[in-house]
Amino acid sequence: MRRLASLSIRGKLLSAFAALALTTVVLGVFSIERLAMVNHSAAEIRDTWLPDTGLLGVAAQSAEQYRVLQAVHLLTSTPPGKQVVEARMAETLDRFQKTWNQYKPDQQSAFELRTAEIVKQSLAAYLAHTTFFLELSRRNDTEAAESLYTGSMQESFAKLRDALSAGINFHISEGAKEADRGSAVFYSARYLIGGGIVLSLLLWALSVSAIPARRIAPDRAHDRRDASSVRRRQERRNPRHEPRR
């Protein structure tokens, strides 16, 4: 404080502007860094968690539709009607396969890899039962087909459904965590940036208060002397003529 008081007015003004400029630069760099973190969280949600959740949702929907169509096939009695249902089953299974192939589990996530493996195994088991189920349904062996549909096929499908549901819930949860991280960065940055602005104002006020007001008085006296000198010079140049007596 003493060193600041011993500086000239020019030095104090330069110090004040330098402090404000430095604080502004620090705040700018900090704000950019915080915004980059928020942008990373938004990009992670947009590029990973939302697309994967959508793909798993479509896969789960297709699996449920496929199983419903199998029940429709069992209830359909005519061969032409069964052929129509089988065509719809093939389309639904193809949609499931295409959607599942687009889903790429994170190789660093043990949960995603384990869930994907369960889906593959349970789907393979279910489709193996489906081949025999369709043969029974085409022969209108309703009792045997129904027993298979509600027995071993139901067990395989339950594993498939649970795995897909777990994958969807996992991605929703991780997406929410990423959003919470971005929100936490925003709130922490808001308080820190506000503190930096207050610090800038304090530095400015401290610099202004360090300028003594008494040094301004000589300057005002000097201005008054200059004004008097100007008037005297003007009077010498333009002397007043006294009236004759």
Which pLDDT value is given to residue 86?
A: 95
Which pLDDT value is given to residue 200?
A: 76
Q: Is the pLDDT of residue 114 over 60?
A: yes
Q: Is the pLDDT of residue 92 over 70?
A: yes
User: What mean pLDDT do residues 84-109 have?
Assistant: 93
pLDDT digits 0-9 by tens, 219-239: 555 555 555 665 666 666 665
Instruction: Report which of residues 38 and 70 the model is more confident about.
Output: 70
Which pLDDT value is given to residue 106?
A: 86
Which pLDDT value is given to residue 245?
A: 46
Which pLDDT value is given to residue 72?
A: 95
Q: Is the pLDDT of residue 26 over 90?
A: no
pLDDT digits 0-9 by tens, 153-200: 999 999 999 999 999 999 999 999 988 888 888 888 888 888 878 877
Which pLDDT value is given to residue 60?
A: 96
How sure is the predictor about 57, in pLDDT bands with cuts at 50, 70 and 90? very high
DSSP the chain: -HHHHHS-HHHHHHHHHHHHHHHHHHHHHHHHHHHHHHHHHHHHIIIIIHHHHHHHHHHHHHHHHHHHHHHHHHH--SHHHHHHHHHHHHHHHHHHHHHHHH----TT-HHHHHHHHHHHHHHHHHHHHHHHHHHHHHTT-HHHHHHHHHTHHHHHHHHHHHHHHHHHHHHHHHHHHHHHHHHHHHHHHHHHHHHHHHHHHHHHHHHHHTS-GGGHHHHHHHHHHHHHHHHHHHHHHSPPPPPP-
User: What mean pLDDT do residues 75-88 have?
Assistant: 94
Which pLDDT value is given to residue 216?
A: 46
Which pLDDT value is given to residue 220?
A: 52
